[in-house]
């Protein structure tokens, strides 16, 4: 996988992936337990990733964790904490993709420490004492709470929710975000780069 630069937003709640000079920003609000987020990551995200790799967009990820309260358990919070720990090693997006590729069923609360560490072993250079300890101790619980509050602050109706340059993707375009062949049309409609859609590299 071609490396994409990763940063935290100024308020420390959001992962920013891609060029800091990209002309457009796609902001994705996700809950790691959300199966609809998994559907987006399985297809539409491929086109978004291609645009990030080419420098046309930056992709921001804010991780909600409301499904833990709704369904019981702590998996969304634990996954968000582990992703924050992966960011410290420059591995956020790689680990994010691995977790969604192996996403447990929503009701199972499958993002246990053991599962997260097992998945982390698939990302070269991620596992280590510091990372493993951060996962097991919920080192970044304050980050997890702040990210949930950031999600709540935009009034999102659920996850995934998409913004393009701070403009919410309207309902009549939202379904196109789930199709790699249609994502480009959303960006054009909202003033994004006029590029044809296509699979990620």
**How would residue 2 be classed by pLDDT, with cut points 50, 70 and 90?**
low
Q: What is the CATH number of domain 6-176?
A: 3.40.30.10
In tens, the pLDDT along 30-69 reads 999 999 999 999 999 999 999 999 999 999 999 999 999 9
Average pLDDT over residues 126-144: 98
In tens, the pLDDT along 3-37 reads 899 999 999 999 999 999 999 999 999 999 999 99
Percent of the chain with pLDDT over 90: 93
The span from the first CA to the last CA of the chain, in angstroms, equals 8
With a cut of 80, say whether residue 198 has pLDDT above it. Answer: no
Whole-number Cα distances in Å, 141 to 46, 76, 164 = 30, 11, 28
With a cut of 80, say whether residue 197 has pLDDT above it. Answer: no
What pTM, to 2 d.p., does this model score?
0.93
**Rounded-to-integer distance, Cα 139 and Cα 5, Å:** 23
**Rounded-to-integer distance, Cα 146 and Cα 180, Å:** 31
Write down the pLDDT at residue 199.
34
CA Rg, the chain, in Å?
Answer: 16
């Amino acid at each position: 996988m071609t490396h994409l630069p990763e940063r935290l937003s100024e308020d420390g709640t959001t992962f920013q992936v891609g060029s800091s000079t990209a002309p457009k920003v796609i902001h994705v609000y996700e809950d790691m337990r959300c199966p609809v987020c998994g559907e987006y990551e399985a297809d539409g995200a491929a086109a978004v990733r291609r645009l990030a790799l080419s420098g046309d967009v930056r992709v921001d990820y804010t991780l909600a964790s409301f499904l833990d309260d709704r369904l019981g358990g702590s998996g969304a919070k634990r996954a968000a904490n582990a992703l924050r720990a992966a960011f410290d090693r420059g591995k956020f997006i790689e680990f994010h993709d691995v977790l969604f590729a192996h996403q447990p069923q929503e009701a199972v609360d499958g993002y246990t420490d053991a599962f997260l560490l097992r998945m982390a072993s698939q990302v070269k250079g991620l596992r280590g004492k510091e990372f493993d300890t951060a996962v097991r101790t919920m080192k970044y619980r304050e980050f997890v709470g702040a990210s949930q509050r950031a999600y709540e602050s935009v009034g999102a109706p659920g996850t995934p929710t998409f913004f393009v340059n701070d403009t919410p993707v309207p309902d009549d375009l939202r379904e196109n975000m789930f199709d790699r062949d249609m994502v480009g049309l959303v960006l054009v409609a909202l003033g994004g780069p006029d590029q044809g859609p296509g699979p990620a590299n």
